[in-house]
Structure 1
Amino acid sequence: MALRWLQLGVLALALAGLFALLLVLSRVPGSEAFFIWIDFFKTALVIHVDQSVLIWFLAMSALVWCLTSPDENRLRIVESVAYLSALSGALGIAVSAFLGDGAPLMNNYVPVLQRPGFFLMLGLFGIGITLQALIRLGNFRPRQWLGNRPDIPGLASWTVSLAIVISLLALLIAWFQMPDEVEGQAYYEYLFWGAGHSLQFAYTQLVILAWILLARASGVTLPGSSRWYAWILMIGVVPVLFTPVIYMVHETVSLESRSAFTDLMKYGGGLAVIPAGFLILSGLIRADRSNSEYKPLRAALWMSLLLFFSGGALALFISGLNTMIPAHYHGSIVGVTLALMGLGYLLLPKLGYPLPKGRMVELQPWIYGIGQLLHISGLAASGMMGIQRKTAGTAQGLESVWAKASMGVMGIGGLLAVIGGILFVWIMLRAFLRGR
């Protein structure tokens, strides 16, 4: 089951990369001669975001749940149903971009296509993840976490499942509380606002686990004891417990509710990831050079830390609805993605495949990471000049030379990142095709 979820995650990244290539090309100056439909850009953006963030991250979460849960025969049928449901949903979401006439809506966290097929496939994927998360959540083993040598992977995966189940609860609460008069993009903005913020805590717990495993596997001696990291993980999931409370105190459709969830992530999101990142970075700086076999893991760890915290730093400069916002979240999101790419390399031998080797494997994290650094740098510079987010072609208003140059850098970096993503997918597919 773990192998199947890993393969689903790689499939989602492959689909996201395809749509990302179309996205980047549609924003490069002069591209309006080829991409004449603005809805094409928005439809591609919806599928790209849902595949590269929602499906990829949650599939890798399910992978971790499978590896840290006991193998129980009585649950195998449920796990198979969960996987097949998620796989069908992931494929169907990509196909829905080419079927139906519903317009894309660019709401935050889970953008949607107003097409019955899209919502059906999104629901199928959600059912699969929910079943797998509930299986992991039910496997509660506190004794493994509170001793002298706590089970860090087990604790981290359980906190990820807790955050995801609370996120699903938030989605249901918002759905039941939604007033009838709210519709269109506003409906989905409020529907996914609380759930989307809750999911961020699951992703930070997941990236901390990936950092720890990559550091240990590539010869980094982490400062402190395992109990430090256990406490960091437990503290990091506490803020998500306030999600239902926010819905009890504030109406779903209200500025107070939106502000409360923003503050929850603003002040609670760094409780775990900042101390964990500092400890891991300090160990990484002092570590000896890794041998060639583990260079891809070390490179993925370096670039993940750099991008994640670069994205966090850019959040301090957000003012208005410009491209500084995507610069911020592309940095942090790609930081998580790079860590999970490294985790994919690391887990291949555990699943019966040889550890990927070769120059291409060593360079892949650097190509992907440097490309994304250029990408977010171009977006950040454009944001400082007032270029609006979620626009393409002439709608961007690229009047000055500097605005065109910054978006050109964005385009070059984006294309380089797409190449890095394609390399990762190819490396993983090559390993799968060679067999266990």
Structure 2
Amino acid sequence: MVALMKTSLDFSPQQRKLLYSWLLYAIGAAGIAGTLAFLVAMTRTPGVRILPSARAFQVILIAHVTFALTIWLLAFISTVWVWVAAQSGIALNRIGSWAGLITSLIGTIIISIPIALFQGEAVTTDYVPLLDTPLFFVGFVTFLIGVGITAATYLVGVARRDRAAGPLSLIAFGMACAAVAALVAVVSLGVAALRLGIGANGREPAQYYQSMFWGMGHSLQYVSVATMVVVWYALVGLFLGESRLNAKFAKAMLAIFALSPLASPIPYFLYDPITVPQRKAWGIALDSALSVPVMFLGPLLLVWVWRTRGEDVRAWLKRMPWGEPRVMTFVFSAILFAFGLTIHPAARQGTLRTPAHYHSVVVGGVTLAFMGLAYHMLSKLNRPVVWRRAAIAQPYLFALGLMGLVSGLLGAGDLGAPRKTYDAAVTGAAWLKPMIVMGGGAAIAALGGAMFVGIMAGSLLRRAESKRTVEIQKPAFVGSTGD
């Protein structure tokens, strides 16, 4: 039997303050990312085109990807480190904890300056599209260092924990693996800077930055997916209690998330890191390793849920808590992540098939899981969920909208619609219909995302309840005896 999480009855004021600060920061980043996503999607929608020029589109696209795939995700992952530490009795160094938060916030502010002023050439590379100006690079590195400080603080807390408390829980171990991968990402960027030098210096900017962020980008994929799997188990564990999975096997699978990224800095020492064929070969190997733990831990989780159904499947389905946000975010997260894995962007590179893949995997799978845990964190902050009916509808709107968006991107990509292009909606009549589907889905997903940000912000900015813990209603799965 796997100990998922050793739950403390209440958080200390210091733990609650740190968790609150990280969560509010993450929700703010999500709100910015969602607003920018709406502008990008509507500009790509035939007959709409909000942004007036290709330059504006490129800058807003870069800002959207930066806030959606880097700042929001890593800020929330940092929030999860704080939450898991408090839940598991892991003491975090106070100075390190706040230094990580403040450093990340400063980095975000610095990044926002060139975006707001439209400074620098737009370089739409993979992993980290950016504005080629020192201020953007400094802000990004500062933000990443803050996340690295938070990850290191968590690992130090794990190392110093009282051994008499027993083995590390599955949730705490999984986040330790994510922390290792995060530190490898920081190291990979440092190694790349040493090997490539700072600045393109006459080299092709797109090729230079693609190589600069290659190792870091792959490592951060492990961080996001590892945390998503941890959140899956945490959300299901809230309703089903202890898992009957083999603890050693589950932890061995999670360890892959920490061990595989260790290879990320190696290519920078073996050959010219700008060489594309070798970099792609390493990338395929790292991507393959990323899928292994998910292929085992995902189905095992579904088996665990299925075994709680009892004998009457119809009754089980009827009694499922379809109106519980934490349950439905998990369900939709698993569906969208699995669907995204079936989309191979390499099949039609340079088309909208690629953003269809990562919107399904990251915006769908990872972000929806994070939304579910964010709702639960409110109870630990003594803040009830505002607008409960909206919270019930929110996962449905966000997920169904994403399904439309991904379907539209995938259909247009298969017809050859180019990615990262301002006039993609109007230059190809062949993909006009799927782009309309994409725009409609994006509008619905944007509404669901705005509802999430509004609900979370409204809940967080309200005065906390008295000392008692505010719990969201917990309808249990049929056949379960969990907390």
Alignment TM-score, normalising by the size of structure 1: 0.91
Q: What is the match of residue 88 of structure 1?
A: 106
CA distance in 2, matches of 1:285, 1:404: 41
Offset from partner CA, 1:50-72 (integer Å, 9 cap, x none): 11111111112211222344789
CA distance in 2, matches of 1:271, 1:393: 38
DSSP 3-state at the match of 2:444: helix
Q: 1:304 to 1:73 in 2, by over 3 A?
A: closer
CA distance in 2, matches of 1:75, 1:148: 21
Give the one of 166, 174, 185 matched to 1:167.
185
The answer to whether residue 318 in structure 2 is matched with residue 298 in structure 1 is: no
The answer to whether residue 132 in structure 2 is matched with residue 126 in structure 1 is: no
State the one-letter code of the partner of 2:222: F
Q: What is the match of residue 67 of structure 1?
A: 83
Q: What is the match of residue 432 of structure 1?
A: 460
State the one-letter code of the partner of 1:165: L
Q: What is the match of residue 63 of structure 2?
A: 47
Q: What is the match of residue 2 of structure 1?
A: 19
* Deviates further, 79-88 or 4-13: 79-88
* Deviates further, 198-207 or 311-320: 311-320
Q: What is the match of residue 360 of structure 1?
A: 390
Give 1:84 deviation, angstroms: 1.6
Offset from partner CA, 1:143-201 (integer Å, 9 cap, x none): 999x9964112111111110011011111111111165534122111100111011111
State the one-letter code of the partner of 1:15: I
Give 1:95 deviation, angstroms: 4.1
CA distance in 2, matches of 1:28, 1:174: 38
Matches within 5 A, 1:169-318: 169-178=187-196, 181-219=202-240, 222=243, 224-287=245-308, 295-315=324-344, 318=347
Q: 1:271 to 1:356 in 2, by over 3 A?
A: farther
CA distance in 1, matches of 2:294, 2:388: 32
Offset from partner CA, 1:2-32 (integer Å, 9 cap, x none): 2211111101000001111111111011234
* Deviates further, 261-270 or 11-20: 261-270
Partners of 2:171 and 2:233 within 8 A in 1: no
DSSP 3-state at the match of 2:38: helix
DSSP 3-state at the match of 1:381: helix
Q: 1:271 to 1:296 in 2, by over 3 A?
A: same
CA distance in 1, matches of 2:343, 2:147: 31
Partners of 1:13 and 1:56 within 8 A in 2: yes
Q: What is the match of residue 44 of structure 2?
A: 27
DSSP 3-state at the match of 1:218: helix
Give 1:239 deviation, angstroms: 1.3
CA distance in 1, matches of 2:153, 2:160: 16
The answer to whether residue 173 in structure 2 is matched with residue 155 in structure 1 is: yes
CA distance in 2, matches of 1:159, 1:434: 34
CA distance in 2, matches of 1:46, 1:27: 15
DSSP 3-state at the match of 1:244: coil
CA distance in 2, matches of 1:295, 1:130: 34
Matches within 5 A, 1:376-387: 376-387=406-417
Partners of 2:426 and 2:432 within 8 A in 1: no
Partners of 1:290 and 1:298 within 8 A in 2: no
DSSP 3-state at the match of 1:104: strand
CA distance in 1, matches of 2:408, 2:243: 34
State the one-letter code of the partner of 2:442: G
RMSD, aligned α-carbons: 2.7
DSSP 3-state at the match of 2:265: helix
Partners of 1:223 and 1:280 within 8 A in 2: no
Give the one of 429, 450, 454 matched to 1:399.
429
Partners of 2:85 and 2:91 within 8 A in 1: no
Q: 1:72 to 1:346 in 2, by over 3 A?
A: closer
DSSP 3-state at the match of 1:348: helix
Q: What is the match of residue 95 of structure 2?
A: 77
Q: 1:291 to 1:322 in 2, by over 3 A?
A: closer
State the one-letter code of the partner of 2:141: G
Q: 1:160 to 1:414 in 2, by over 3 A?
A: same
Give the % identical residues.
Answer: 28
Give 1:35 deviation, angstroms: 2.9
Give 1:279 deviation, angstroms: 1.4
Give 1:207 deviation, angstroms: 0.4
Partners of 1:68 and 1:154 within 8 A in 2: yes
Give the one of 408, 420, 428 matched to 2:436.
408
Offset from partner CA, 1:384-432 (integer Å, 9 cap, x none): 10111111236752223xx111000001111111111101001101111
Partners of 1:222 and 1:279 within 8 A in 2: no
The answer to whether residue 124 in structure 2 is matched with residue 114 in structure 1 is: no
State the one-letter code of the partner of 1:30: G
Partners of 2:387 and 2:455 within 8 A in 1: no
Partners of 2:401 and 2:445 within 8 A in 1: yes
Partners of 1:156 and 1:233 within 8 A in 2: yes
Give 1:246 deviation, angstroms: 2.9
Partners of 2:345 and 2:354 within 8 A in 1: no
Q: What is the match of residue 379 of structure 2?
A: 349
Offset from partner CA, 1:207-249 (integer Å, 9 cap, x none): 0101001111234875524444222211333211222333333
* Deviates further, 120-129 or 379-388: 120-129
Partners of 1:130 and 1:165 within 8 A in 2: yes
DSSP 3-state at the match of 1:120: helix
Partners of 2:350 and 2:419 within 8 A in 1: yes
Partners of 2:91 and 2:161 within 8 A in 1: no
**Higher RCO (C-alpha under 8 Å, 6+ residues apart):** 2
DSSP 3-state at the match of 1:269: helix
Q: What is the match of residue 361 of structure 2?
A: 332
DSSP 3-state at the match of 1:272: helix
| Structure 1 residue runs without a partner (length 5+) | none
The answer to whether residue 35 in structure 2 is matched with residue 18 in structure 1 is: yes
Partners of 2:45 and 2:425 within 8 A in 1: no
